[in-house]
Amino acid sequence: MPAISQSVTLLAHTPDALSLIYAAFRQCYHPGDVADLWPRLLAGEVAPQKQADFVGRILASGHESPIEHVSFSFAVAGVSRALTHQLVRHRLASYSQQSQRYVDAAGFDYVLPPAIAAIPEARECFEAAMERAGAAYAELQEILTRHGRGAKANEDARFVLPNACETKIVVTMNCRSLLHFFELRCCLRAQWEIRALALAMLGLCRQALPVIFDRAGARCERLGYCPEEERFSCGRFPRLAEIPRSSV
């Protein structure tokens, strides 16, 4: 039952992503049918930099809906059930998570919070709790199997598993949902584990589609000020109320 580290892999994204976004934007302002333009885009007749410049200008005006046509899919492992409970609150997304009903969790790996790892007595207490949970799970499996639950023993024994229990999940979001996810979860006030996930995903997105994600991140980075109330601000950026009106 070792502590485990997070890993994030970009499985796939919509093919010809930049050209698709460019075509979608162009359709909004073009009297013709962009289906006629599409073969030229695939043939490279419109330079990628020209496409990127056009998309960047329109995005800067606040028009974002066409980027919803492109999606990214990630394989995430080495994360806790505490993280995925937060992750699935982002509704405009698709999730496929490892099942604790069908996957035997005996000897489960777990996520060890850095704050706990840094304090020897806290780490000792935490690791002992993981051992107790693992032992209780195995004992319940045995008892339930002996009483006829058979293959269904896991689905009842799992009730003693902790939030720290490691899980794996496949996540798919469109670009617009990803931008919103990054605004909230790259913030310094986001919990450390989901912030690490968001930053890893953002790095992969920036490599794949920089015109959309180069300026993505916490909301304060885009706005230049913190939109939170004073008690929720980390202090990295001034709050809007603290900025002189002439500067806004």
- What positions carry a catalytic annotation? 185
Phi, psi of 230 (to 5 degrees): -55, -45
Q: Which helix (H) or strand (E) holds 170?
A: strand 166-174
User: What is the C-alpha separation between 216 and 235, in angstroms, rounded?
Assistant: 20
Cα gap 52→209, rounded to integer Å: 10
From CA 210, how far away is CA 212, in angstroms rounded?
A: 5
Contact 59, 140 (CB under 8 A): no
CA distance 90 to 77: 18
The two structure tokens encoding residue 22 = 């460019």
